[in-house]
DNA sequence: AGTGCGACCCGAACGC
DNA sequence: TGCGTTCGGGTCGCAC
């Protein structure tokens, strides 16, 4: 599942691969993936070029001359650079062919990812972009901000960490890791989170995301960066997918319980 | 307003 | 060459 660190890795990789290449042709093999008008999508991209790639939370923002192409990878979306001659695979749903004989191909086994082409001035008011909260490492992500967001919340802190309008970019992997590092029980309600705990969340999230980006993200079954390189943060996971393994701090078994339908990995001893 | 949950997808894992 | 069922997971939209 690409989260902020994985999306950042994809962004960095693609920036080295596709900037300033002229788009010759666009093929959309699964139309539902494109939220914009399909005809317009292809027409506007043809002859255009990507001049930069930005990111907001888990959203990739490809910059064109007068437009932005928004792309959300959801769970299994990946971009690959290939030779145009290679046969198009079953799960390659959008193909951008460049004049130089290469393709940027969007691959998504579960077809959950979405793309949308918007005018540059529409970015600031785009609902999905607009709702994003501050990111781990942002100066504005303060204790006061978090406590205000957690105030009166009767839902589990784990669920709140997945809320993109509070902290932008965390998914299941890093939400689990941040709570372990912060020694907070994932079932604890938002309104019960103390100042000290909010401080821990801020520090842990910044440190973990920074480290994960350095290591190229985490590779969980479905995810490889566009180069196909394995994210090495996998080796530093403390609780995520570690069910039944001994806690690296206290040795008791890591548990997996559902919170709001999502697998939640934690150490019941370390996370009181 | 806050909260919960089904839908969207389909390969993998599971049950028999 | 086993086959049918369940599961998972980010986000949205809807129900309450």
A22-72 pLDDT, tens per residue? 999 999 999 999 999 999 999 999 999 999 999 999 999 999 999 999 999
- Chain C bases under 7 Å from protein CB? 8-12
**Percent of chain A's residues with pLDDT above 70:** 96
Closest amino acid to nucleotide B2 (CA–C1'): A153
Mean pLDDT calculated for residue range A210-234 = 66
pTM: 0.93
Mean per-residue pLDDT, A188-192? 94
C-beta contacts of A261-268 below 8 A and 24+ residues apart: A262/A158, A262/A159, A262/A162, A262/A172, A263/A172, A264/A158, A264/A176, A264/A186, A265/A176, A265/A180, A265/A239, A265/A240, A265/A241, A266/A176, A266/A179, A266/A180, A266/A185, A266/A186, A266/A239, A267/A180, A267/A239, A268/A185
Interatomic separation, CA of residue A161 and C1' of nucleotide B3, rounded (Å): 15
Nucleotide nearest to A112 (CA to C1'): B9
| Sequence-separated (6 or more) residues with CB below 8 Å from residue A159 | A259, A260, A262
Q: What is the CATH number of domain A143-266?
A: 1.10.8.50
Residues of A with a catalytic annotation lie at: 2-3, 58, 262
B7 C1' closest Cα residue: A112
Determine the pLDDT at residue A261: 86
CA of A47 to C1' of B6 (A): 41
pLDDT in tens, A170-180: 999 899 999 99
Where does chain A hold its CATH 1.10.8.50 domain(s)?
143-266
At a CB cut-off of 8 Å and minimum separation 6, what does A205 contact?
Answer: A136, A137, A141, A167, A170, A174, A178
Protein residue nearest nucleotide B4, by CA to C1': A260
Å from A260 (CA) to B4 (C1')?
A: 8
The Cα A213–Cα A206 span in angstroms is: 11
**What CATH class is the domain A4-129?**
alpha beta
pLDDT tops 50 at residue A228: no
* Chain region(s) in chain A for CATH 3.20.190.10: 4-129
Whether the per-residue pLDDT at A225 is higher than 50: the answer is: no
């Amino acid at each position: 599942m690409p989260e902020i660190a994985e999306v950042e890795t994809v962004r960095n990789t693609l920036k080295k691969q596709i900037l300033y290449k002229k788009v010759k042709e666009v093929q959309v093999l699964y139309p539902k993936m494109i939220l914009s008008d399909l005809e317009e999508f292809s027409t506007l991209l043809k002859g255009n070029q990507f001049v930069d790639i930005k990111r907001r939370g888990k959203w990739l923002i490809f910059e064109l001359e007068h437009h932005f192409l928004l792309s959300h990878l959801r769970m299994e979306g990946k971009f690959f650079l290939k030779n145009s001659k290679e046969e198009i695979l079953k799960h390659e749903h959008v193909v951008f062919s460049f004049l130089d004989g290469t393709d940027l191909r969007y691959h998504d086994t579960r077809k959950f990812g979405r793309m949308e082409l918007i005018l540059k001035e529409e970015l600031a008011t785009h609902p999905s972009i607009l709702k994003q909260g501050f990111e781990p490492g942002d100066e504005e992500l303060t204790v006061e901000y978090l406590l205000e967001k957690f105030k009166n919340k009767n839902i589990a802190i784990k669920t709140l960490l997945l809320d993109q309008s509070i902290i932008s970019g965390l998914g299941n992997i890093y939400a689990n890791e941040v709570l372990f590092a912060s020694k907070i029980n994932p079932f604890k309600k938002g309104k019960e989170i103390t100042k000290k705990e909010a401080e821990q969340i801020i520090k842990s999230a910044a440190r973990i995301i920074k480290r994960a980006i350095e290591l190229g993200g985490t590779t969980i079954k479905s995810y490889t960066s566009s180069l196909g390189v394995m994210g090495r943060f996998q080796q530093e996971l403390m609780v995520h997918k570690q069910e039944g393994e001994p806690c690296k701090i206290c040795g008791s078994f890591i548990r997996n319980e559902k919170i709001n339908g999502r697998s939640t990995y934690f150490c019941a001893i370390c996370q009181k």
